[in-house]
């Protein structure tokens, strides 16, 4: 994530800011230039000759993104991907929905930074990307992915519920953004694992056509196999080859976004930004060489504050080989 500044007063801004807390200027984020702009008294901005206004989902989704001015309500690239949301009368779910959309915008920005393709449901009704963000308070909701549609239970946006689930499932890391990154991994398995890449996938992760329900039943009745830490990034990854890939893909996104942010604040070399990492194995070696010392330092800082490790993971060789495979899918060498 980049280090943003208010272009009117120079105040440092967060990616989520819709208002400068120093000069009180209204703000908007423009994905095309990946920058935050000050809006005029009509809540518009002109960037490179293009007149922009705020996304039509400004209030309901707490969205601060900009769209091209068209004279009619228009949603941004992230909000357009949401197919289903809570009804206007479900005020409790809508509050969490807005927070969830904020996490989704961070995901969409990272996918854009990595130049990963996104085909919408309108472009491809069979397997295009869409999000159903629903509340389990009024209906049964199962977080997951099916043919491009990502469903998320908005209960994951509740801190108490999410922490309870994290402890019960013995997960070292559980966030809304983490859920999005995992489920988008399933989507990119469909998009990126072409026939020529399938042998490499199966060599590392196994056969993705294995009976999923049988694997699910086995996982929740028997748990992860003994010694799983040597081959998998998480215990959940042991359940099925598709889950192994999704967990690995999510971890790659964690690494790249964190390194990019660290570089923006001079905590990592400039060559570790999204646009600074070379493609192929050379790039992955650079990422790994900077990632391990950074996470060691961050863990020590957390311990100094009396908190658990920020990055409670160990990456054995087999896991690193899987993450390298993902890197070469996202940024293949020429």
pLDDT tens digits for range 30-77: 999 999 999 999 999 999 999 999 999 999 999 999 999 988 999 999
In this structure, are 174 and 90 located in the same domain?
yes
Q: Looking at residues 305-331, what average pLDDT do you find?
A: 94
Domain boundary among 159, 189, 219: 189
Q: Is residue 169 pLDDT above 90, yes or no?
A: no
DSSP state of 267: S
Distances (CA, A) of 56 to 4, 28, 122: 23, 12, 19
Query: What is the rounded CA–CA span in Å between residue 321 and residue 294?
Result: 20
Q: Calculate the CA dihedral of residues 67, 190, 116, 198 and round it to 10 degrees.
A: -170
Q: Looking at residues 204-221, what average pLDDT do you find?
A: 93
Beta bridge partners of 255: none
Domain boundary among 189, 210, 227: 189
Better pLDDT: 191 or 139: 191
Residue 146 pLDDT grade (very low, low, confident, very high; cuts 50, 70, 90): very high
What is the average pLDDT score of the chain? 91
Chain centroid to Cα 50, Å, comes to: 28
Q: Give pLDDT, residue 334.
A: 73
Q: Give pLDDT, residue 170.
A: 53
- Extract the tokens encoding 313: 């993971």
Helices (H), the chain: 91-113, 159-168, 176-192, 198-205, 212-222, 241-264, 280-304, 317-330
In this structure, are 178 and 198 located in the same domain?
no
In this structure, are 316 and 203 located in the same domain?
yes
Residue 171 pLDDT grade (very low, low, confident, very high; cuts 50, 70, 90): low
In this structure, are 183 and 236 located in the same domain?
no
Instruction: Report helix, strand or coil for 144.
Output: strand
Residue 136 pLDDT grade (very low, low, confident, very high; cuts 50, 70, 90): confident
Residue 162 pLDDT grade (very low, low, confident, very high; cuts 50, 70, 90): very low
Report whether 101 contacts 78 (CB < 8 A): yes
| Exposed / middle / buried, residue 204 (Cβ in 10 Å: 0-12, 13-18, 19+) | middle
Q: Looking at residues 175-187, what average pLDDT do you find?
A: 94
In this structure, are 126 and 222 located in the same domain?
no
Output the CA angle 240-243-247, nearest 5 degrees.
140
Query: What is the rounded CA–CA span in Å between residue 36 and residue 29?
Result: 4
Which of 91-95, 185-189, 290-294 is least confident? 91-95
In this structure, are 62 and 104 located in the same domain?
no
Q: Give pLDDT, residue 255.
A: 96
Q: Give pLDDT, residue 273.
A: 94
Residue 165 pLDDT grade (very low, low, confident, very high; cuts 50, 70, 90): very low
Query: What is the rounded CA–CA span in Å between residue 315 and residue 291?
Result: 11
Q: Give pLDDT, residue 158.
A: 54
Better pLDDT: 75 or 166: 75
Q: Give pLDDT, residue 139.
A: 80
- HSE of 276 in the Cβ direction (CA atoms, 13 Å)? 18
Share of the chain above pLDDT 70, in %: 94
Instruction: Report helix, strand or coil for 90.
Output: coil
In this structure, are 60 and 120 located in the same domain?
no
In this structure, are 50 and 82 located in the same domain?
no
Q: Give pLDDT, residue 88.
A: 87
Beta bridge partners of 151: 132, 144
Q: Looking at residues 141-152, what average pLDDT do you find?
A: 93
Q: What is the pTM of this model?
A: 0.91
Q: Give pLDDT, residue 174.
A: 66
Q: Give pLDDT, residue 16.
A: 94
**Which domain range does residue 86 map to?**
76-189
Domain boundary among 143, 162, 189: 189
Q: Is residue 160 pLDDT above 80, yes or no?
A: no
In this structure, are 238 and 309 located in the same domain?
yes
Residue 277 pLDDT grade (very low, low, confident, very high; cuts 50, 70, 90): very high
Per-residue pLDDT tens for 70-97?
889 999 999 999 999 998 888 888 989 9
Number of domains in the chain: 3
Query: What is the rounded CA–CA span in Å between residue 310 and residue 319?
Result: 19
In this structure, are 23 and 120 located in the same domain?
no
In this structure, are 90 and 139 located in the same domain?
yes
In this structure, are 291 and 273 located in the same domain?
yes
- Residue 144 backbone dihedrals phi, psi, to 5 degrees: 175, -170
Q: Calculate the CA dihedral of residues 101, 103, 109, 110 and round it to 10 degrees.
A: -150
* Rg value, the chain, Cα: 20
Query: What is the rounded CA–CA span in Å between residue 237 and residue 235?
Result: 5
Distances (CA, A) of 51 to 55, 62, 65, 68, 334: 13, 21, 13, 6, 37
The number of residues in the chain equals 334
């Amino acid at each position: 994530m980049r280090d943003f500044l208010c272009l009117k007063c120079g105040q440092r801004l967060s990616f989520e800011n819709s208002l400068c807390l120093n000069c009180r200027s209204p703000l908007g984020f423009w994905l095309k230039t990946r920058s935050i702009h000050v809006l005029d008294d009509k809540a518009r901005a002109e960037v490179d000759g293009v007149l922009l206004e705020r996304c039509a989902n400004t209030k309901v989704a707490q969205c601060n993104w900009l769209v091209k001015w068209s004279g009619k309500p228009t949603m941004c690239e992230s909000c357009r991907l949401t197919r289903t949301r809570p009804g206007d009368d479900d005020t409790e779910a809508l509050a969490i929905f807005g927070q969830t959309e904020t996490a989704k915008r961070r995901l969409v920005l990272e996918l854009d930074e990595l130049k990963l393709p996104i085909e919408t449901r309108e472009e491809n009704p069979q397997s295009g990307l869409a999000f159903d963000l629903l509340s389990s308070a009024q209906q049964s909701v199962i977080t997951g992915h099916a043919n491009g549609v990502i469903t998320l239970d908005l209960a994951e946006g509740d801190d108490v519920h999410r922490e309870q689930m994290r402890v019960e499932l013995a997960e070292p890391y559980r966030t809304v953004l983490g859920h999005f990154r995992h489920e988008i991994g399933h989507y990119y398995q469909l998009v990126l694992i072409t026939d020529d890449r399938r042998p490499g996938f199966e060599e590392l992760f196994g056969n993705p056509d294995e009976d999923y329900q049988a694997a699910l039943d086995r996982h929740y009745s028997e748990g992860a196999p003994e010694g799983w830490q040597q081959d998998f990034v998480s215990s959940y990854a042991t359940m099925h080859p598709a889950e192994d890939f999704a967990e690995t893909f999510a971890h790659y996104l964690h690494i790249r976004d964190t390194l990019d942010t660290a570089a923006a604040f001079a905590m990592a070399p400039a060559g570790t930004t999204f646009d600074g990492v070379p493609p192929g194995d050379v790039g992955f070696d650079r990422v790994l060489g900077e990632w391990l010392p950074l996470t060691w330092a961050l863990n020590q800082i957390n311990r100094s504050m009396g908190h658990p490790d920020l990055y409670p993971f160990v990456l054995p060789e087999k896991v690193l080989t899987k993450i390298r495979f993902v890197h070469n899918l996202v940024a293949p060498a020429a």
